Amino acid sequence: MKTRHFLKALDEARIVEAIRAAENRTSGEIRVFISSRKRPGHPVLERAARQFEKLGMAKTRERNGVLIYFVPENREFAIIGDKGVHEKCGDVLWANVAADLRRGMASGDFTASILGAVSAVGETLARQHVGNVNRQGLVPSPATNPWIASSLAMGHPSRVTNLMGVI
């Protein structure tokens, strides 16, 4: 799928609001990134981990950033969760979010799929990382859109957890 078609199919305002609502209940950081770079032979997980670093998501005080990364041209996604999230949530969270994303993407309802993933991650972060909801000391967001970044428009995690899916 062409990245521009994927982006046009998304309701960005709803996704941004869902991320904002989820982040307001936790000290965690959630981002969605849509890459326009088709790179067969380059594992999506490695690219997502690099983007996680570029976005500064490993700099959260509690190491509780989560990146949901899409490569529509390759029909792939990856979920990267930092050390603080994985230590408290384990592999079950990632398996459930990835399975739900995979099903939703296959059905073609991209916005609902992303909203579901953001909601699931947000609920888990709210249960596990409620201590610092004033959002101080978090990674500064870019001036344009702080939650959704697209490569069309716009410290290494000590433990990167993920699941890759084909959409």
Tokens at 45, concatenated: 């997980």
* pLDDT at position 147: 45
CATH number at residue 144: 3.10.310.50
Q: Rounded distance, CA 84 to CA 60, Å?
A: 9
Q: Rounded distance, CA 23 to CA 94, Å?
A: 18
* pLDDT at position 165: 46
Q: Rounded distance, CA 44 to CA 163, Å?
A: 10
72 is in which domain, residue-wise?
A: 3-166
Nearest residue to 69 via CA among 85, 57, 87, 84: 57
Report how far apart, in Å, the C-alpha atoms of 118 and of each of 37, 123, 149, 160 are. 23, 8, 15, 18
> Which amino acid type is present at position 15?
I
* pLDDT at position 134: 53
Q: What is the CA radius of gyration of the chain?
A: 14
What pLDDT tens digit does each residue of the chain (167 aa) get? 898 899 999 999 999 999 999 989 988 899 999 998 877 778 888 999 999 999 999 888 888 899 999 999 888 999 998 888 888 888 888 889 999 999 999 999 999 999 999 999 999 999 886 545 554 444 444 333 444 544 333 322 333 344 444 44
Which is it for strands 29-34 and 148-150: parallel, antiparallel or unpaired?
Answer: parallel
In the chain, the number of structural domains is: 1
Which strand ranges, in their side-by-side order, compose the sheet holding 76-81? 148-150, 29-34, 65-71, 76-81, 164-166
pTM (2 decimals)?
A: 0.80
